Amino acid sequence: MSAKVWGYVRISKAEQNPNRQLDLLMREHGIRREDIFVDQISGTKFERPALAELQKVFREGDTVVVESLSRVSRKSADLLQLLDDWQKRGINFISHKEQLDFSSTTGRLILTLLSALSQFERDNLRDRVVEGLAAARARGRVGGRPRTDQKSLEKALKLYEAKSHSIQEITEITKVSKSVLYRALKARRELENVTSD
């Protein structure tokens, strides 16, 4: 059985259209549409249905082509793990944008460097976010949702006990979120159970 070329496309948002990637793989690499697998999921998620299906059908000697490395994964550890597995299984990998052919020694070196740089960029971004939050806290600003006003919460609980309004109406009147109200009701029930024992 002769080696086959497969395509893999990933789009991350529901409103995105895969046609640009599909057209490129079909036009530039001669891959038939039925041989291209498409995922509509974040690149940070390792488990992807179409990619899992692709891995069931390709065989030793086959080639997988993608538009760019970011289509396979945005995490360098996941990318390297996947491509290491493919290499062991005898699967070639080509990334069009980076002009990277994983079957060559140079390609493997470049892939490792690109993956490391990609992870470095993500780590730097995370560090900047953490530093920004720390700086904001030092100035007295705390992130997250504002704390619920106790008087509003008590009013919400009274309205709930009166059974005169729906949960939706209570949250609109008091501006107390459903999750806060439900937590308060649960805490009150637990307290009642303890005192009644």
Q: Which is it for strands 92-95 and 63-66: parallel, antiparallel or unpaired?
A: parallel
pLDDT at 173 over 60: yes
Provide the pLDDT confidence category of residue 78 given band limits of 50, 70 and 90. confident
Between residues 118 and 11, the one the model is more confident about: 11
Q: What is the model's pLDDT at position 50?
A: 93
In this predicted model, which residue has the larger pLDDT, 188 or 118? 188
What percentage of the chain has pLDDT greater than the value 70? 88
Q: Catalytic pick from 2, 12, 95, 152?
A: 12
Question: What is the token pair recorded at 62?
Answer: 């086959």
* Sequence-distant (≥ 6) Cβ neighbours of residue 12 within 8 angstroms: 40, 41, 42, 43
For 21-36, what is the mean pLDDT?
A: 95
Share of the chain above pLDDT 90, in %: 27
**What average pLDDT does range 53-68 have in this prediction?**
93
Q: Which CATH superfamily is domain 5-118 in?
A: Resolvase, N-terminal catalytic domain (3.40.50.1390)
Q: What pLDDT was estimated at residue 64?
A: 95
Mean pLDDT of all residues belonging to the chain: 83
Nearest to 36, CA basis, from 46, 26, 45: 26
**pLDDT on residue 46:** 63
H-state helical runs in 30-166: 49-57, 69-72, 76-88, 105-138, 150-162
Distances (CA, A) of 18 to 10, 36, 70, 149: 7, 11, 14, 47
**20 pLDDT more than 70:** yes
Give the global pTM: 0.56
**Higher pLDDT pick, 2 / 57:** 57
Give me the residue spans of the domains in the chain: 5-118, 150-196
Does residue 12 carry a catalytic annotation? yes
CA-to-CA dists, residue 137 to 113, 123, 125, 128, 144, angstroms: 36, 21, 19, 14, 11
Q: How does residue 195 score in pLDDT terms, banded at 50, 70 and 90?
A: low
